[in-house]
Structure 1
């Protein structure tokens, strides 16, 4: 398949998503072995080029695999172990608290993912600042673990607060803040110049406005305690470089995050942050005004990034579905292009 045929197939996949969204700016990046291409869809046109100054999107929960990549790098450097008790890093907890860094990284720490009673309590507690999409504040998470001192049952419950706490612990252990920890250990080594939490003034014009499912503009996301759960902004070009680094066998710390820690559903496992399904390693993200997908097949050296400035509906075409379909296309295709 040549690049023109590939563009046609990708356009066919994304059209149901593109057509009804008036303010859409959809960026898609593909990696095939050592070659890459990016596409920009606006609903009325498509361009195929590597943007010198690409759009910046909120990537939501894809931030989580940056957090676990930092964990993998710190494990590889001998700074800590995934089996370390969180009590080693939180003064209020005992050194042998049964919850480990691995529990936080694979969402088996016991923290409630969705708690109706806690949600109701939060409605009547305006004095406690909590990050968006998090049931708990930082102090409430620590209090939760202080009160729950038994070994957590190995039950997967997706937790923004748990992953956010992991980011907090890692940054504290490095004697810095979360954003600086990522910049020094991931962004700078990989030359991810447009991946950050705070967007510099000179780049603000590239930061897109997000829209909800009805197309209404949304305010930028701000997270204070749990930045490691979803606060990052990035571009399609940087995300392709991130995939490339994870596919490379040279990055041993990165490879650690891709190993299965447990099965969470039929044919779906979880590593340290990543979901593993049918030889595909992936994660997605969603904020009030953005949605995203990142996935790759290390064996075939292919990867896909989908970034949208719309929050997606649950039961409709979305970046997850589009990204998965494009990956399937790449896996069965012999692609011939120079980019």
Structure 2
């Protein structure tokens, strides 16, 4: 079944997101009850370090814990690897660049990366890449062979930017771009390189100028800190075996963000603020599946909730996990983080999702 897409937003501020107006937040029954819920969530995750940070109506509550001894730097002040949840930063950056007239979203990615290249009849555009409708696989075909020697340490580090762009320029899609949805780290990685080429500005600098500095995200970066105590230390699925700091290689836009819990709450609160990030971030651009029941925005998965839609994105590296989400109907933002690789029947995502879904 083909997916149904809506046009890329030409002017995000003119879009209307039905059902996501922000009413006055409904506070939880009590601070004590919320803290009990967060404490139970930390225990359920069963990780060396876990942080559940909630903002409701602008009031923040953070609970930390874990099976390991507390690190030298308090857990809520560490920077955590958020893996694929980095794509929400990529989506916001692209929308901001479109809003400011620097891009349209309709630029053919191949032309951005190779200006002398002859345009295809149905080119893959920046909008296709950010919405996972470019017809690309999850990873390049030769990624697994190159990454295998470092599969349990840092496979992405073995696949640099030039290989990402070369693999994209050589790839031939089976389906017309914009007609099928397939989640793709490859596609969002290409997006980062294409946007950098089109603007003549490195992705790191664009993100800093248009997202991190405007939102005051001083505890967010795309690379490990020089001081290892600044960053949370990942563990394998057993919760004990150390895992090296994640190196995204050529996949920076798709998964390189590391941030403190409070920076992540600030990022999410901006999505709840009517004067914060553009409303286009909450507007559906793709419906797929049986009855088109799976809804996606430029950067978020969108699920129904009793009072209105909730938005979320998960992420994982080899040693850490993240869940980011927000609900306009309750004015709630949630950033959940832990330092243990996902495992079979892992409780992390279901625990975080359940907290966000609570009224």
TM bin, normalised by shorter chain, reads 0.7 to 0.9
Shift of 1:45: 9.7
State the partner residue of 2:134: 109
Paired residue for 1:315, among 336, 342, 345? 345
CA gap 1:246/1:134 in 2 versus in 1, 3 angstroms? farther
**Contact conserved, 1:257 with 1:273, CA < 8 A, in 2?**
yes
State the partner residue of 2:92: 69
For structure 2, list consecutive stretches of 5 or more residues without a partner in the other structure: 1-28
Shift of 1:250: 1.7
How many pairs are equivalent?
A: 314
After TM superposition, the structure 1 = structure 2 runs for residues 1-339 of structure 1, keeping only pairs within 5 Å, are 1-18=29-46, 21=47, 24-43=48-67, 54-91=77-114, 93-95=117-119, 97-113=122-138, 118=142, 122=146, 131=156, 137-144=164-171, 147-148=172-173, 151-152=176-177, 154-201=179-226, 203-215=227-239, 216-251=241-276, 253=278, 255-265=279-289, 267-278=293-304, 279-318=309-348, 320-329=349-358, 332=359
State the TM-score, normalized to the length of structure 1. 0.83
**Contact conserved, 1:134 with 1:161, CA < 8 A, in 2?**
no
Q: Secondary structure at the match of 1:142?
A: helix
Counterparts of 1:4 and 1:256 in 2: how far apart (Å)?
36
**Contact conserved, 1:98 with 1:150, CA < 8 A, in 2?**
no
Q: Secondary structure at the match of 1:61?
A: helix
Q: Secondary structure at the match of 1:176?
A: coil
Higher mean displacement: 223-232 or 151-160: 151-160
State the TM-score, normalized to the length of structure 2. 0.79
Counterparts of 2:267 and 2:128 in 1: how far apart (Å)?
24
Counterparts of 1:134 and 1:106 in 2: how far apart (Å)?
23
State the partner residue of 1:336: none
**Contact conserved, 2:149 with 2:155, CA < 8 A, in 1?**
no
Shift of 1:167: 1.3
**Contact conserved, 2:316 with 2:341, CA < 8 A, in 1?**
yes
Shift of 1:124: 9.2
Q: Secondary structure at the match of 2:264?
A: helix
CA gap 1:111/1:44 in 2 versus in 1, 3 angstroms? closer
Shift of 1:143: 1.4
Shift of 1:204: 3.2
Shift of 1:53: 7.0
Shift of 1:308: 0.6
